[in-house]
Structures are given as C-alpha cells and as structure tokens.
Amino acid sequence: MNTTWILAADGARARIFAMEGDKVQELEDLTNPHGRDAKRDINTDRDGRWHGGGTAAHNLSGHNYEPDVDPLKHEEEKFAKEIGEYLDRASMEHRFDDLCVIAPPEFMGRLREKMGENAKKCIKEELVKDISWFSDAAVEAYVKQHMH
C-alpha cells in the first residue's frame, strides 16, 4: 500500500501527516521559534554603521547599514531548508511514496527552492493554502475534499 505524506506548512509551523487509505495521522509537528516574531524581535541589535571613505562631496561616513535580507524572511528560509532536508532524508529512507504539499504562496515558493531532488520527485500535488494551524480533524477533512 502506498504511503502519502501531507506537509501542511507556513513560515512558523510544519505538520507532516501520513495518509494510508482513508486514515490521516499526524507524524511530526515542527515549529520555527522565530516564525511569528516581529522583525524587531528577531533583529534586536541596532543597525551597523558604515564609515566609508570618499571625497568630501560624497562623504558617506556615518550612514546606517541596512541588511539586504529581511530578518523574518531569512528565518523562514532557514525553516524551509530544514523542512526540505527532513523530507529529502525521509524520501531516501523510503518512509513515503507520494507527497502532497500544502502551504501559502510565498512559503510554497521557499519550499520548492529548498527541497532536495529526491523529495521533489515524490510530489504528486501542491495546494496553495495555509492550513498548518487547522485542527487534526479539519486538516483531514480539507485533504479528503481537495486532494485528487
């Protein structure tokens, strides 16, 4: 019998369910401790200062340095990578045959980017919705109604 894993994830939480026949059972509940933090809580230090040289007309010293990456997005990318590595390992261990990924649009893109080739080959369906916070029964009902 084929085992289908269902990943219901967002930037703060990833839940993995196994579906065998009509039964859906939660296997893992992974959390990102910084997933719901405000930017100011993640990046508590002051911005760095840049003291660059330059001509008197273009003296840029004393300007604040703004990071290129939003701290919250960076934390979500790290979480997506963790999830991707977990799924890739599980795929290589033959713990599931098929994979259904359910995530909001932006996080779906991060998952696609960070997931390994082994796990990607198992994806049979992607549903764009944030159901990671649904109850177990609501996840099961959603999956049964929307998976093909």
Percentage of the chain with pLDDT > 90? 66
pLDDT in tens, 91-104: 999 999 999 999 99
Q: Quick one: what percent of the chain has pLDDT higher than 70?
A: 76
131 pLDDT above the threshold of 90: yes
Helices 71-92 & 105-114, crossing angle to 10 degrees? 50
Give the helix, strand, coil percentages of the chain, each rounded to 5: 40, 25, 35
- The residue type at 127: L
pTM: 0.78
Residues 22-31, buried b or exposed e (16+ Cβ, 10 A)? eebeeeeebe
Pairing of strands 63-64, 49-50: antiparallel
Write down the pLDDT at residue 38: 47
Report pLDDT digits (tens) over 2-58.
899 999 999 999 999 999 888 899 999 999 987 665 444 444 445 545 445 555 555
Q: Which CATH superfamily is domain 4-34+70-146 in?
A: eRF1 domain 2 (3.30.420.60)
CA distance 105 to 127: 9
Give one word for 79, left, alpha or beta, with left for phi > 0 and alpha for psi -120 to 50.
alpha
What pLDDT score was predicted for residue 61? Answer: 52
Reduced to 3 states, what is the DSSP secondary structure of residue 140? helix
Task: Note the pLDDT of residue 42.
Answer: 42
Average pLDDT on 46-71 reads 55
| Cα–Cα distance measured from residue 111 to residue 101, given in angstroms and rounded to the nearest whole number | 9
The yes-or-no verdict on residue 110 having pLDDT over 70 is yes
Compute CA distances 109 → 52, 99, 113, 115, 126, whole Å: 37, 16, 6, 10, 11
Mean pLDDT in the chain?
Answer: 84
Whether 105 shows a pLDDT value over 50: the answer reads yes
Q: Which amino acid is at 130?
A: D
Q: Give residue limits of the domains in the chain.
A: 4-34+70-146
